[in-house]
Amino acid sequence: MHEEEQVEVRTVGRGARVTRYGFGAAPIGNLYTAISDEQAAEAVDAAWTGGVRYFDTAPHYGLGLSERRLGAALRSRPRESYTLSTKVGRLLVPSSGGGRDDQGFDVQATHRRVWDFSRDGVRRSLEESLSRLGHDFVDVVLLHDPDDHWAEAVGEAYPALAELRDQGVIKAIGAGMNQWEMLGDFVKETDLDLVLLAGRYTLLDQSGAHGLLPLCEERGVSVVAAGVFNSGLLATEDATGTYNYGPAPHALVERARRVAAVCRRHGVSLPQAALAFPLRHPAVTSVLVGARSAEEVARNAALTAAPVPEALWADLTEESLIDPEPRR
């Protein structure tokens, strides 16, 4: 897809428009290994050329590096033509300790992360994100990993975001987590526009489908599916990657290879099926895919463009490798 072609979008919240596939910017924050500013910009440019108009980042990613790189890469684009999302919950505080970051990003530890879901913390975090991005506003703000901070997140951070949404400062609010249970609590007890569910609605883990996705469908809350490769195991045809950022258990490797074998019978690769699977559920609005290079973006774009026959899902269901198809 080229820039002049029509881009398929869906509306979330009060006017935030997201494409079926979004760009996850953690990798351009030097996730695991460093890349250059030029490589990061090329990855964003490739996503744009491929029709992506939804870009997600966070202060956590590379201690602000992801926000700086993403903001710079998008700055020349018409601001109303894309949706920009960031997160709150971790403040970046200058640190003089030196050394390297110890949370998965190949960057200097110039700052340390401080959990803060207070009202003031949310506003400070957003202001600092806008400064790093070099933008006047973001469209979507998410509570980021509030697993151990429920009371403060629901009692202070959520009302602060809801107020900003009511004022028209932001268009949509939500929460992003690697678990579905607390996201379900947010959906029940607040008025979120979306949830970002990482790794819990994939070819290997459909746990989010049982408690969260039907609830979101009932409440009109959009679901953005992330981590669809489960951190690597579904990203290659031979299923040799990591699972949830650690060594993959043998039983899951074997299950992934069984899924891959069924896919091959239908002329579909394992990563192609992993990218297509979440959008089958009526609650899922978009799939967020991380990439660190133009080559990775092009590879993923080719996979999402290739058709996946319905018979594949039927066979995977028959062999009890995925849950039955959800009702549309």
List pLDDT tens digits, range 236-285: 988 888 898 888 999 999 999 999 999 999 999 999 999 999 999 999 99
pLDDT at residue 117 tops 90: yes
Pick the range with the lowest mean pLDDT from 4-13, 80-89, 143-152, 222-231: 4-13
Q: Which pTM was predicted?
A: 0.95
Write down the pLDDT at residue 231.
Answer: 87
Taking residues 278-300, report their average pLDDT.
Answer: 97
- In this prediction, residue 326 has a pLDDT band, given cuts at 50, 70 and 90, of low
In a domain? residue 45: yes
pLDDT at residue 1 tops 50: no
pLDDT digit string, tens, across residues 211-235: 999 999 999 999 999 999 998 899 9
In a domain? residue 239: no
Write down the pLDDT at residue 242.
Answer: 85
Q: Is 14 helix (H, G, I), strand (E, B) or coil?
A: coil
In a domain? residue 83: yes
Write down the pLDDT at residue 78.
Answer: 97
Which residue is associated with the tokens 């990591």? Answer: 242
pLDDT at residue 12 tops 60: yes
* CATH code, domain with 191: 3.20.20.100
Residue 5 and residue 3: Cα distance in Å, rounded?
Answer: 5
Taking residues 142-165, report their average pLDDT.
Answer: 98
Residue 227 and residue 251: Cα distance in Å, rounded?
Answer: 20
In a domain? residue 95: yes
Write down the pLDDT at residue 285.
Answer: 97
Write down the pLDDT at residue 238.
Answer: 86
Return mean pLDDT, the chain. Answer: 95
Q: Which residues of 81-116 are buried (b: 16+ CB within 10 A; e: fewer)?
A: ebbbbbbbbbbbeeeeeeeebeeebebebbbbbebb
Active site residues: 61
Taking residues 73-82, report their average pLDDT.
Answer: 97
Nearest of 11, 17, 3 to residue 47 by alpha carbon? 3
Q: How far apart are the first and last CA of the chain?
A: 27
Owning domain of residue 178: 9-227+279-285
pLDDT at residue 147 tops 90: yes
Write down the pLDDT at residue 143.
Answer: 99
In a domain? residue 131: yes
Domain count, the chain: 1
In a domain? residue 156: yes
In a domain? residue 218: yes
pLDDT digit string, tens, across residues 171-216: 999 999 999 999 999 999 999 999 999 999 999 999 999 999 999 9
Write down the pLDDT at residue 102.
Answer: 95
DSSP 25: -
Write down the pLDDT at residue 241.
Answer: 80
In a domain? residue 15: yes
Residue 41 and residue 234: Cα distance in Å, rounded?
Answer: 26
Write down the pLDDT at residue 327.
Answer: 53
